[in-house]
Structure 1
Amino acid sequence: MRSLELNMGYMLFLSLVAAVGGLLFGYDTAVISGTIGQVTEQFKLNDWQQGWYVGCALVGSIVGVSMAGILSDKWGRKLVMILSALLFSASGIWCTIASDFVHLVWARILGGVAIGIVSIVSPLYISEVAATQYRGRLVSLYQVAVTIGFLSAYIVNYYLLLYSQSNPLLETPILQYIMVSEVWRGMLGMESVPALLFLLVIFFIPESPRWLIVSHKKEKAKGILFRIYRSVQTVEEHIGMTESVLKTESKNSDWSVLSQPGILKAVIIGVCIAILGQFMGVNAVLYYGPSIFENAGLSGGDSLYYQVLVGLVNTLTSIFALLIIDKIGRKKLIYYGVSGMILSLIMIGLYFILSERFQLSSVVMLVFFLAYVFFCAGSISAVIFVLLSEMYPTRVRGLAMSIAGLSLWVGTYLVGQLTPWLLTYLTPGGTFFLFAVMCIPYILIVWKLMPETAGKSLEEIELYWKNGSKRKEVIKRKR
């Protein structure tokens, strides 16, 4: 297909709107890092309660991801994105006014449900409106948005803390309460601003054309596809290929489609890379970065500033990965990135072991942290949602992504809950050595079991998993 035929502006607009969900994902996930110390002190939390404060949103994410695929396959991608925007908005407001720790936990769980939903539906929507040759880059926009959400949360946390420490006197008591005396409320509540923006812009995008085809609304799908491809012939080819693949599944239930040997293998691989990716240190850095920096002797303000640098490197590296993911492929990014992650994690572990004996500067640790973030953001973080959004059959893509996404959030919850305990009893050095070891099975699975999907249509990838002994020939087909 010639690039000149494509309406790149429209395709980019659709992808950017869906990617706003990633920004909310990132903000809600990372904002917690700047509030842990304040909430722990205010409510006198022990290690397990602190872990629950971090992990409760992840429980919500597990609930959200469990229902996201089923709802999006039944109701459509757009309506479910609207639901997630409503939940994000409600969570931000509730966190701001929560009267006690129990209410705060429930508000965080509600936000977690929204995270789980949007983590499935937004990249799924982008993958289904993107042209094959641009799919990796456009789905990666979602991950870039996630990192922008991280960075936004770190910046908001840093400046709100500085503002509150300047002891301003605000005329409105409620603002004094939210922005100064209990500034963590303002940090959590700021989420409602982008959430309301997301809710507004979703109404300006259409439903996924592939979902419309599955739902027997071919004429609506044709109109949307024509706006993207601007060629009647190309639109007919896309619809014909999708319908041809669907015919092989028409007599089977969704679960029987997933249980087919090739598709089942794809689901199992997706589950493995999703859950293993969470045990490679990324969420410990995102959730507990300031606490880890404080363990290295930094003040609360300095630790939040370091976390801003972490977020900035995360964002810039994600943009770099977006530019190259379709050129060098998903697998090479993982090979290079995970190798760098292993080395960086070992160096962080050695820093914590040797820092007291040799009085190493905290800047040394920052360099290792930033190196780790660079390699992580340029590999597993950039690739995971691209792979999960393109691995599965059209008819059950939402359900299959939910299964893989569920394992991702279970892993994320376990890491969030266990990290305070690991830092205390395994020591920071031992914790990072453990994360380094967990990188090894991840890279082996990608090397031995995953095909390279760059440059292949969603239908071609589906045929690869289905065709058993002929998989290599299918995935090597030239467009």
Structure 2
Amino acid sequence: MARGEDSSAQQAGIKQEKIEHARHKAYLFAGAAGLAGLMFGLDTGVISGALKFIAQDLGADDRTQEWIVSSLMMGAAGGSLLAIPVARHSGRRGAMLYAGLLFLIGTALCSVAHSVGMMIAGRVILGVAVGFASFSAPLYIAEITEKRQRGKMISLYQLVITGGMLLAMFSDSLLAYGGHWRWMLGILAVPTLIFILATMNVPYSPRWLVSRGRRKEASHVLQLLRGSQAAAQEELARIEKNLQREDGNGFTLLKTSPGFRKTFLLGIGLQAFQQLAGINILLYYAPHVLEHLHFSSEAAVWCTTLLGFANMLATGVAILLIDRWGRRPLLLLSTSIATVSLCLFGLVLFLKIGGVAGSIATIALLVTFILGFAIGEGPVPWTMCTEIQPLKGRGLAIACSTFANWSTNWLISNIFLSLMAALGDYGIFWMLAVFNAIFFLIALFFVPETKGCSLEEIEERLNEGARLRDLGQPASGSSGRHLTQDAGGAGRA
């Protein structure tokens, strides 16, 4: 009897070891895809320190500088839509590989640019690459990770973005003393090559394989990711069930499914207000804003690096909390902090508080805003937009919400300096505070709590006609429903 118990315990131990090994592989593959976020962060963050030197060498006035900065966002908006057919036919993995090649081309063009036109062309190509990456990487990560770890893993992508921004800002700070802007831009070829090599070694998404009729390959990948044939077959059956339920593609769903129209619009709203919150224009133009407030050029660049560090630090905290606290609490806390800090920053500017007190207040409030943004407004939209969309409409919905993110980013970065001249420095930050307050209301009334729910469970609730707030874990007492707990600890309607 004891021998039989020992044998059973040994088999259970081996089974658990296989599951843990498979889980580590899933983390490794998600990490490789997350390097797309590193490229995203590097190529968007590097411009803050390089812009002044580019403007001096290429003779760019304020309006031209706005176009140099915003041209990447314009390319990213287009790239997020071009990524739809690429990801459909070549897979999420294929889209990431194309992004890597475009990163190399754009980096080379920018680092040798001898005119504004050439610089803008290189930035547009980099933007298309960023659009491909920001569409395909979060989608890939969401489709290969377990539901209990999905929020953390997608947020890890956001952390890598902030890490890329910080690395770019730190590199800019070191190279700023000599004005070596070509090195600032050209050195990004090294991480690009690493990203391409890493992407070549990840498997295709099982959900994409099923949608292409490659069931055997999907089963193999799921077993590789889950470490259990039973778990792989169960997940495969749920993916196939959702595919069979939905006829047509994303455009068909948009016409026929009221539930999909709601999640489609919510995804666009989340991504648009993430940019209207003001994070990227602050990071792009922080040296310009700080110099306007009488900081020296070197101090302004190093203060921008401090903002990048705060951004990465708070994103790391968000990763630890997003699958514990949930998406909604983080987003509500984040929008509250961002709104208050921007209101106070605008007040400091309005009252023209100068000297040491003004400098301390300026840095403290900007860091507070960054911390507030990064704990929720940064990672939650990327996480939510991959979670709430049904499988057949996921590609279209994520592409359109990513397009909304980048087109909004392009708009505000293209007019920021001009708008600050028109509204005054305090006026522009009060305007951003209003956008953050609206974001708070969207989170309060429309954002569901998807912590601990599988993509298939969320889709089933969408098909059952649940309201947006109830797609994940329904609010207590809403619609007469009550919560029960499943084995993974997730609330179910």
Indicate the residue corresponding to 2:134 in structure 1.
119
Q: How far apart, in 2, do the equivalents of 1:402 and 1:395 lie?
A: 13
Partner of 2:324: 327
Counterpart CA distance in 1 for 2:466 and 2:64 is 51
Provide the residue aligned with 2:195 in structure 1.
198
Match of 1:288? 285
Cα contact 1:91–1:192 (8 A) shared by 2:
no
Task: Tell me, in whole angstroms, the C-alpha distance in 2 between the residues paired with 1:470 and 1:151.
Answer: 39
Are positions 1:35 and 2:50 aligned together?
A: yes
1:46 aligned residue (24, 37, 61): 61
Asked whether the equivalents of residues 313 and 373 of structure 1 are also in contact (C-alpha less than 8 Å), the reply is yes
Q: Partner of 2:347: helix, strand, or coil?
A: helix
Deviation at 1:464, TM superposition (A): 2.2
Structure 1 residue aligned with 2:147:
132
Q: Deviations over 1:266-309 (max 9, x none)?
A: 00111112112211111121110111111111111111110111
2:253 is the counterpart of 1:257: yes
Partner of 1:92: 107
> For 1:110 and 1:201, how far apart are their aligned partners in 2?
21
Deviation at 1:323, TM superposition (A): 0.8
Letter matched to residue 224 of structure 1: V
**Matching residue within 165, 178, 200 for 1:150:** 165
TM-superposed CA distance for 1:201, in Å, is 1.0
Give the letter for the 2:456 counterpart: E
The amino acid across from 2:155 in the alignment is S
The answer on whether the counterparts of 1:213 and 1:243 sit within 8 Å (CA) in structure 2 is yes
Report the 3-state secondary structure (helix = DSSP H, G, I; strand = E; otherwise coil) of the residue aligned with 1:395.
helix
What letter is aligned with 2:387? E
| 1:475/1:464 CA distance change after superposition, 3 Å | farther
Quote the Cα distance in structure 1 between the aligned partners of 2:466 and 2:24. Answer: 40
Which residue of 336, 339, 342 maps to 1:342?
339
Instruction: In structure 2, give the amino acid aligned to 1:19.
Output: G
CA distance in 1, matches of 2:466, 2:42: 44
The equivalences for 1:212-291 within 5 A come to 212-249=209-246, 251-259=247-255, 260-291=257-288
Question: Post-superposition shift, 1:375?
Answer: 0.5
Q: Pick from 464, 471, 474: which aligns with 1:467?
A: 464
Distance 1:62 1:275 in 2: 12
CA distance in 2: counterparts of 1:130 and 1:258, whole angstroms: 27
Instruction: Determine which structure has greater relative contact order: mean sequence separation of CA pairs < 8 Å that are 6+ residues apart, divided by chain length.
Output: 1
Q: Which residue of 2 aligns with 1:70?
A: 85
Pair 3,398 (structure 1): closer, same or farther in 2 beyond 3 Å? farther
1:360 equivalent to 2:357? Answer yes
Task: Rate the CA distance shift 1:454–1:465 in 2: closer, same or farther, 3 A.
Answer: same
Contact 2:45–2:165 at 8 Å: present in 1 too? Answer: yes
Per-residue CA deviations over 1:325-365 (Å, capped at 9, x if unaligned) read: 01110000011111000111011111212235677331221
Q: 1:440 aligns with which of 437, 443, 446?
A: 437
What RMSD in Å do the two structures reach over aligned CA positions?
1.7
> Quick one: distance in 1 between partners of 2:328 and 2:225?
28
Q: Residue 90 of structure 2 aligns to which amino acid in structure 1? A: W
Give the Cα separation in 2 of the matches to 1:470 and 1:272: 16
Aligned partner of 2:231: which letter? Answer: T
Secondary structure of 1:373 counterpart: helix
Which string of whole-angstrom CA distances, capped at 9 and with x for unpartnered residues, describes residues 390-448 of structure 1? Answer: 12112231221001111111100011011101221211111100000011221212221
> C-alpha separation between the residues in 2 aligned to 1:241 and 1:3?
23
CA distance in 2, matches of 1:156, 1:320: 24
Q: What amino acid is aligned across from residue 123 of structure 1 in structure 2?
A: P
Summarize the Cα distance change of 1:433–1:204 in structure 2 as closer, same or farther, 3 Å threshold.
same
Cα distance in 1 between the residues matched to 2:209 and 2:69: 38
* Cα displacement (A) at 1:10: 0.6
Contact preservation (8 Å) 2:450, 2:471: no
1:91 aligns to what SS in structure 2?
helix
Q: Deviations over 1:76-117 (max 9, x none)?
A: 011110000001111111111112111111001000000111
TM-score, normalized by length of structure 1? 0.92
Task: Give the Cα separation in 2 of the matches to 1:467 and 1:219.
Answer: 30
- The match for 1:314 is 311
Matches within 5 A, 1:152-191: 152-162=167-177, 164=178, 183-191=180-188
Q: For the residues of structure 2 that align with 1:409 and 1:135, how far apart are their CA atoms? A: 24
TM superposition shift of 1:199: 0.6
Write the distance in 2 (CA, Å) between the matches of 1:154 and 1:91. Answer: 19
State how far apart, in whole Å, the 2-side matches of 1:39 and 1:469 are.
Answer: 52
Q: Secondary structure at the match of 1:35?
A: helix
Q: Which runs of 5+ in 2 are unaligned?
A: 1-14, 475-483, 487-493
Which position in structure 2 is the counterpart of 1:103?
118
Measured against aligned partners, the alpha-carbon deviations of 1:122-160 in whole angstroms (never above 9, x if no partner) come to 011000010000000011110000000110010010001
CA contact (8 A) 2:249 2:392 kept: no
Alignment partner of 1:13 is 2:28: yes
* Residue identity (%): 29
Deviation at 1:8, TM superposition (A): 2.3
Q: Distance in 1 between matches of 2:343 and 2:250?
A: 44
Q: What is the CA–CA distance in structure 2 between the aligned matches of 1:216 and 1:67, rounded to whole Å?
A: 23
Distance in 1 of aligned mates of 2:51 and 2:105: 21
How far off its partner does 1:70 sit? 2.7
CA gap of 1:356–1:230, structure 2 versus 1, over 3 A, is closer
For the structure 1 residues 474 and 345, does the alpha-carbon distance in structure 2 shift closer, same or farther, using more than 3 Å as the test? closer
C-alpha distance in 1, partners of 2:409/2:57?
25
Matched, 1:382 2:397: no
Q: State the alpha-carbon separation in 2 of the partners of residues 66 and 91 from structure 1.
A: 19
Q: TM-score, normalised by structure 2?
A: 0.90
Moved more, 347-356 or 302-311: 347-356
Q: Is the Cα contact below 8 Å between 2:111 and 2:182 reproduced in 1? A: yes
